[in-house]
């Protein structure tokens, strides 16, 4: 998208890189099953997550986490964000392969010189998408782009949109660093893979689906040359593949 790189400022990119490559350096990655180092202690425990996010009074109660996230509440802890993001995949309306309204968004943003009405149209598309897909990292990044151009970089709306991207990245980076299958980022949709790569300015040149032990599935993104010297990025997509199998009755 034309305006994507323009909004990934040095400050934003530095924060993202810090989250992706440093926040996991001290996290525990001890295998919970012998013989499969790719299933780690920071793999989302969906059974526990589902129980907690549906328990009123729990600090992880989903409606409250959603309310706080939509308010860009920066006092949310990484653990709470972990439950919020991965808890989305345990809900009855979870649909990782649903169609996103990219066409309308591209129509507004691919113009040579977008006008205010174009940014407003884009903001409306994004807001509608996020009502039913509140953890979509890519759309939250687009929201930050649009709000920056519509309201200015110093507006509260733009700042909140920035914080929401950072909070979602905090949740994903609580599971790994993306450097290998053993430390893959756990994501709940393929769209989020591209959102993470967008934030980091990474461009994939090949995508491979790899099966691991114990029913684990991975997307391996072979990357174009980049400033970090990364050849590939790994995403654990097991939960979305399980949803796909369920959809087709497997």
More confident residue, 53 or 110: 53
Average pLDDT over residues 207-233: 92
Question: What does the pLDDT read at residue 227?
Answer: 85
CB–CB of 220/214 below 8 Å? no
pLDDT digit string, tens, across residues 18-59:
555 554 443 433 333 333 344 444 789 999 999 999 999 999
> Which of 24-38, 145-159, 162-176, 201-215 has the least mean pLDDT?
24-38
CA dihedral 225, 149, 127, 92 (to 10 degrees): 20
pTM attached to this predicted model: 0.85
Question: What does the pLDDT read at residue 248?
Answer: 65
């Amino acid at each position: 998208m034309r305006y994507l790189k323009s909004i990934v400022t040095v400050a934003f990119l530095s924060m993202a890189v810090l989250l992706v490559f440093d926040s996991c350096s001290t996290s525990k990655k001890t295998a919970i099953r012998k013989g499969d180092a790719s299933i780690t202690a920071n793999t989302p425990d969906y059974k526990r997550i589902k129980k907690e996010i549906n328990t009123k009074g729990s600090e992880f109660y989903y409606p409250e986490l959603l309310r706080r996230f939509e308010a860009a509440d920066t006092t949310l802890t990484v653990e709470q964000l972990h439950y919020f993001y991965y808890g989305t995949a345990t809900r009855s309306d979870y649909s990782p392969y649903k169609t996103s309204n990219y066409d309308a968004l591209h129509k507004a943003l691919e113009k040579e010189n977008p006008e205010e009405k174009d940014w407003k149209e884009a903001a409306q598309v994004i807001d509608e998408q996020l009502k039913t897909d509140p953890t979509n990292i890519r759309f939250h990044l687009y929201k930050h782009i649009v709000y920056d151009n519509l309201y200015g970089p110093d507006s509260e709306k733009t700042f909140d949109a920035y914080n929401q991207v950072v909070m979602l990245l905090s949740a994903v980076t609580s599971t790994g660093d993306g450097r290998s299958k053993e430390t893959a980022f756990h994501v709940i949709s393929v769209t989020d893979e591209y959102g993470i790569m967008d934030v980091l300015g990474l461009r994939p040149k090949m995508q491979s689906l790899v099966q691991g032990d114990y029913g684990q599935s991975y997307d391996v993104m072979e990357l174009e040359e980049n400033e970090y010297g990364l050849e590939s990025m790994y995403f654990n997509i097991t939960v979305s593949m399980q949803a796909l199998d369920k959809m087709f009755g497997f």
